[in-house]
């Protein structure tokens, strides 16, 4: 979902290059050691963070981990940054760039979890290659995930969910968890769920939330 440009957000992003990496050159290696206090900590990445409720909540809950929010829109990056600064989330970095270059932004076997939350479904067949669960993206995720790493995916779009299950299955992935109504799962599952802004909106309308965890490791 495209956000209306907010001048304050764009200004904030430009004022904080230490927290927001803007349009990095995929051909140049990113020195993450300089952007985190301790880059040896486990790393988790959210692709398409929107306003950042999900990733900033995670970063606050798990200070022993590092997080990167990949977001293409400058205004969205600014909204995430505002929360990061307000909550002093030193374990969160924001990368304003194209997720298609994720395997060039991060080293092989460098991240434990990749989160895909309420991605654009790109429903038209001719746009299939833009879907974040298209096989080309899966190949890139596999490259940057550790051997025991996995993908966590949520959507309210039944078509994208069905497509993603098929795409991942065809890629040979293993499904660790699948739900067609996440908000009505067992309490131990729903209590751990961190809702995004869009998730709250969709669930309030009575839409079921689809979710899955999938890994590349054969089990």
User: How far is it, in rounded angstroms, from Cα 37 to Cα 86?
Assistant: 18
Integer Cα distance of 168 and 148 in angstroms: 16
Q: Tell me whether residue 176 is one of the annotated catalytic residues.
A: no
In the sheet that holds 174-179, the strands lie side by side as 20-22, 92-96, 66-70, 43-47, 111-117, 145-155, 210-215, 174-179
- The beta strands (E) that lie in the chain are given as 20-22, 43-47, 66-70, 92-96, 111-117, 145-155, 174-179, 210-215
Q: How far is CA 132 from CA 4, 122, 162, 216, in A?
A: 23, 9, 13, 16
One of 101, 120, 176, 181 is an active-site residue; which one?
A: 120
Query: What contacts 180, CB < 8 A, 6 or more positions away?
Result: 161, 208, 210
Catalytic residues: 120
């Amino acid at each position: 979902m495209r956000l209306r440009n907010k001048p304050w957000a764009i200004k904030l992003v430009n004022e904080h290059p230490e927290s927001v990496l803007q349009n990095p050159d995929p051909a140049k290696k990113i020195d993450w050691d300089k952007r985190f206090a301790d880059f040896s900590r486990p790393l988790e990445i959210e692709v398409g963070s929107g306003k950042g409720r999900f990733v900033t909540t995670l970063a606050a809950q798990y200070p022993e981990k590092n997080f990167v929010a990949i977001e293409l829109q400058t205004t969205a990056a600014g909204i995430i940054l505002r929360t990061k600064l307000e909550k002093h989330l030193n374990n969160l970095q924001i990368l304003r760039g194209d997720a298609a270059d994720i395997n060039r932004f991060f080293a092989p076997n460098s991240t434990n979890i990749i989160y895909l939350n309420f991605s654009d479904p790109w429903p038209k067949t001719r746009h299939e290659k833009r879907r974040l669960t298209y096989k080309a993206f899966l190949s890139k995720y596999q490259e940057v995930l550790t051997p025991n790493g996995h993908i966590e995916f949520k959507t309210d779009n039944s078509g994208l969910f069905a497509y993603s299950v098929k795409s991942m299955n065809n890629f040979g992935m293993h499904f660790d968890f699948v739900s067609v109504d996440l908000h009505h799962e067992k309490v131990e599952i729903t209590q751990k769920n961190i809702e995004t802004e869009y998730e709250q909106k969709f669930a309030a309308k009575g839409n079921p939330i689809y979710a899955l965890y999938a890994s590349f490791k054969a089990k």
